[in-house]
Amino acid sequence: MLAKRIIPCLDVRDGQTVKGVNFVNIREVGDAVELGAEYARQGADELVFLDITASHEGRKTFVDLVKRIAHTLNIPFTVGGGINELKDIDALLSAGADKVSINSAAIRKPELIDQMALNFGSQFVVVAIDAREVDGQWNAYINGGRIPVDKELFSWAKEAQERGAGEILFTSMNHDGTKNGFACDALARMSDMLSIPIIASGGAGNMEHYAEVFTKGKADAGLAASIFHFKEITVPQLKEYLNGQGIPVRI
């Protein structure tokens, strides 16, 4: 079994890392550059930086901030937010990003996934999906979870893979910020359908939730924000726990 990845997420607005619950009630938690550097020192496997209001506000991700964050890191670094065309991706990769995540743009223009994979390689392409479950049906949302769209979670994830996505980053809007655990049933279903790695996001509240998402949820990586930002769990503590549970991680 491949080592499971622990990925802190920096949701950034106006240069500051922020965090909310169920995609609302946003509050600031610190400087993005400083937090990114600290997680790299702690031994995080990767880092995700999402400019959470770029798509909604119709602007580009802050390339200069990406440069500053990348300068402090020695681990893979994924960037998303406000990406609509190939030149946006080229600019972010040139600024130091290792992978690029697209969400709203992928739904609005699915062929962008094909173009990214063809021009840069699937290994650089992360398709993020924010979805909410209502009455047993999972539907996707765009613009930072503000706008529902006519895309069913599992069929859209399958299409994204077929178009050339190298990874899926699935955030359960029902679980986001609640600290009640990941959407393991949905994640396991997605894992059984797909051959590319799945990053689980939304709901991490303790170390047991990570063990569950890697076993029951069959996720390849677990992403979290609150528990790391507020120092409820550190990356080394989490990895030591998972190792003790027989779950392979990079120590």
Strand 147-152 and strand 137-142: the pairing is antiparallel
What integer pLDDT is reported at residue 14 of this predicted model?
65
Mean pLDDT of the 168-189 span: 94
Q: Which of 144, 119, 126 has its CA nearest to residue 52?
A: 144
Three-state DSSP at 173 gives: coil
What integer pLDDT is reported at residue 18 of this predicted model?
60
Residue with tokens 């029902």: 174
Known active-site residue 11: yes
Say if CB 65 and CB 95 are below 8 A apart. Answer: no
Q: Which of 250, 211, 217, 248 has its CA nearest to residue 233?
A: 211
Q: What is the reported pTM? A: 0.91
Residue partners of 24: CB distance under 8 A and separation at least 6? none
Mean pLDDT of the 23-48 span: 79
Known active-site residue 135: no
Q: Which residue has the higher pLDDT, 148 or 166?
A: 166
Say if CB 193 and CB 4 are below 8 A apart. Answer: no
- Annotated catalytic residue: which of 45, 88, 130, 220? 130
Tell me, what DSSP letter sits at residue 124?
A: G
What is the distance between the alpha carbons of residues 197 and 235, in angstroms, rounded to a whole number? 21
Please state at what angle helix 184-193 crosses helix 207-215, rounded to 10 degrees. Answer: 30
| Residue 126: pLDDT band with limits 50, 70, 90 | very high
What phi, psi does 55 have (nearest 5°)? -65, -45
What is the distance between the alpha carbons of residues 179 and 181, in angstroms, rounded to a whole number? 6
Strand 167-172 and strand 147-152: the pairing is unpaired
Q: Specify burial of residue 94 (Cβ count, 10 A radius: 0-12, 13-18, 19+).
A: exposed
**How confident is the model over 231-247, as pLDDT tens digits?**
899 999 999 999 999 99
- Annotated catalytic residue: which of 11, 45, 88, 220? 11
**How confident is the model over 78-113, as pLDDT tens digits?**
998 878 899 989 989 999 999 999 999 999 999 999
| Residue 125: pLDDT band with limits 50, 70, 90 | very high
Domains of the chain: 5-244 (3.20.20.70)
